[in-house]
Chains A and B, each alone.
Chain A
């Protein structure tokens, strides 16, 4: 009797059923993960509410002067939510962080910059400050608007600036490659092409995933990156928690001294107080 054909049929059906079972298991695993994240989101929401109310003691004091420059990455599809962006900036400014970089991949925020600047008295565009070195001395709020064209494409434009220098040096018979292709020259070239902002201390990502979406690579060598979730779920307490986590991370401040290069300043501490009323926009629709 020939058992080959029934055997093949049997293996075929075992394989088919096996595939279906594996597929179902995969969906089940992801359903469980979704429920876990949903539960964690509820708990984070509750924690955020308690932080906003000043009921969690450890978040009452923030050493804000550890954050000289804050970057905020926003997913482009949410960047058109201007009121959320303004709300976030208001919270950040209220906490005492005055120098902020806003990034979205497609440049939507750049188009809304006038609307945003209007909401903050005395705020100036970063590009209008004369020297980066003076940034920390600016008492008023500075806002920088950055997009993908300020990242890789800016490096290509800066490369052409260095190319001109290189051609001049080779045409003059000398080869100053080592001096021309240095980090300081590259930083200067990036400033020349209008993409020479400082390195942020902390980068907050508002979007579905923990991904910096093309923030200028030259500027995030040692930047702490924290994922905040979607912009539409913006919470004051989550912002406080993220800033607190950054300012108390001992590994940044004591573990790897070569990473942190800002000056040690007497720490300006923000007391969030007992009745911590969340700052909000007034007169806004």
Chain B
């Protein structure tokens, strides 16, 4: 029986490698983003505790990261916790924060794995809103993997696009104020034009400035809205919404997303170059 299971696992692994090889003939997205939606609905369906479902959701996330790595996707971003999520049941919020700390500590213990695969971890969002243990753990994880460059894994926590845009505008204004006071403007029109905020000023202050715009955003559970995630960056991004809830997401959903991306890649690339 054990032998049969081993043979089966080998065959599945070989089949997956074959599929990776075939699909990799076509264009592969450089940046994939995930909205991990459907955990609570899944827990209601199974009548189980939300905490255990979030753990199941985390193992699905690990699988997705593995597939992305195998395909050579360089940037992966996940929407782990929205600013709006702070309004949820305090017990659920606390359990999510505890899970986050637990997983970050796990990453720090397995630091050599992340360094071996060259994966850099970044936490994007208004980290000031997080409790100190979570914030410190996040900062330690970012520091431990700062030198890696093979792939970048961004975790959006305490994040929303509107907050990101506001923060970028604020940073730009503060920068312009510093420029104005440093050069002590005489008030000429040319000086005023030189110190106006341009689009590039705002973009460089975005939380997600370190990564290129996503090529595909995958939102599980079939919902078709972006829920304040990467609104600025998703101009020419393929939005894919498989109907499976996040804990049910598997390789076939991911593969279907990649294949659909390949179908429209030429069109999206053309739109991107027009900008």
Which of A23, A209, A214, A225 contacts B268, CB < 8 Å?
Answer: A209
In the complex, are the beta carbons of B263 and A33 less than 8 A apart?
yes
In the complex, are the beta carbons of A211 and B236 less than 8 A apart?
yes
CB neighbors of B among A205-227 (8 A): 208-214, 217-218, 220-227
0/1 per residue, B188-205, Cβ < 8 Å to A? 000000001111011000
0/1 per residue, A162-206, Cβ < 8 Å to B? 110011001000000100111100100000000000000000000
Also in contact, A222 and B225, with CB within 8 A (given A159-B172, A209-B264): yes
Interface assignment of A248: CB less than 8 Å from any CB of chain B:
no
Min C-beta distance of B82 to chain A, whole Å: 10
Could you tell me the dominant secondary structure of chain B's interface residues? helix
Closest residue of B by beta carbon distance from A219: B231
Also in contact, A29 and B22, with CB within 8 A (given A167-B180, A218-B162, A258-B84): yes
Min C-beta distance of A97 to chain B, whole Å: 18
Chain B residue contacts of A156, Cβ below 8 A: 197-199, 201-202
Chain B residue contacts of A57, Cβ below 8 A: none
Chain A residue contacts of B173, Cβ below 8 A: 159, 162-163, 166, 180-181
In the complex, are the beta carbons of A166 and B240 less than 8 A apart?
no
Interface assignment of B49: CB less than 8 Å from any CB of chain A:
no
Interface assignment of A112: CB less than 8 Å from any CB of chain B:
no
In the complex, are the beta carbons of A221 and B226 less than 8 A apart?
yes
Chain A residue contacts of B25, Cβ below 8 A: 22-23, 25-26
Chain A residue contacts of B268, Cβ below 8 A: 209, 211
Chain A residue contacts of B176, Cβ below 8 A: 163, 167
Chain B residues within 8 Å of chain A by Cβ, number? 53
Also in contact, A217 and B262, with CB within 8 A (given A159-B172, A186-B165, A224-B224): no
CB neighbors of B among A128-186 (8 A): 148, 151-153, 155-156, 158-160, 162-163, 166-167, 170, 177, 180-183, 186
Also in contact, A213 and B225, with CB within 8 A (given A156-B199, A167-B177, A167-B180): no
Also in contact, A159 and B239, with CB within 8 A (given A209-B268, A220-B226, A223-B225): no
State A272–B201 Cα separation when bound (angstroms).
51
Which of A105, A177, A221, A224 has the most B CB atoms < 10 Å from its CB?
A: A221
Chain A residue contacts of B197, Cβ below 8 A: 156, 159-160, 163
In the complex, are the beta carbons of A217 and B225 less than 8 A apart?
no
Interface assignment of A268: CB less than 8 Å from any CB of chain B:
no
Closest residue of B by beta carbon distance from A163: B173
Interface assignment of A251: CB less than 8 Å from any CB of chain B:
yes
Min C-beta distance of B205 to chain A, whole Å: 10
Which of B172, B202, B231 contacts A220, CB < 8 Å?
Answer: B231
Interface assignment of B103: CB less than 8 Å from any CB of chain A:
no
In the complex, are the beta carbons of B177 and A170 less than 8 A apart?
yes
In the complex, are the beta carbons of B227 and A221 less than 8 A apart?
yes
In the complex, are the beta carbons of A217 and B165 less than 8 A apart?
yes
Min C-beta distance of B225 to chain A, whole Å: 5
Which of B23, B169, B174, B225 contacts A155, CB < 8 Å?
Answer: B169
In the complex, are the beta carbons of B170 and A152 less than 8 A apart?
no
Chain A residue contacts of B166, Cβ below 8 A: 181-183, 186
Interface assignment of A259: CB less than 8 Å from any CB of chain B:
yes
Which of A162, A183, A211 contacts B162, CB < 8 Å?
Answer: A183
Interface assignment of B114: CB less than 8 Å from any CB of chain A:
no
Which of B196, B227, B239, B262 contacts A30, CB < 8 Å?
Answer: B262
State A117–B224 Cα separation when bound (angstroms).
30
In the complex, are the beta carbons of A177 and B177 less than 8 A apart?
no
Apart from A160-B196, A170-B177: 8 A-B pairs, beta carbons within 8 A: A105-B271, A162-B173, A181-B169, A209-B238, A210-B240, A214-B235, A223-B226, A259-B227
A-B contact pairs, 28 of them (CB 8 A): A22-B22, A26-B25, A29-B22, A34-B263, A105-B271, A151-B235, A152-B232, A155-B199, A155-B202, A156-B198, A158-B169, A159-B197, A159-B201, A162-B173, A166-B177, A167-B177, A177-B170, A182-B166, A208-B267, A211-B236, A211-B239, A212-B239, A213-B236, A213-B271, A221-B160, A221-B231, A222-B225, A224-B225
The 9 A-B pairs at the shortest CB distance, nearest first, are namely A217-B231, A26-B25, A214-B235, A209-B264, A181-B170, A159-B197, A159-B169, A221-B228, A156-B199
Chain B residues near A (Cβ < 8 Å):
21-23, 25-26, 41, 84, 87, 160-162, 165-167, 169-170, 172-174, 176-177, 180, 196-199, 201-202, 221, 223-228, 231-232, 234-240, 259, 262-264, 267-268, 271, 274-275
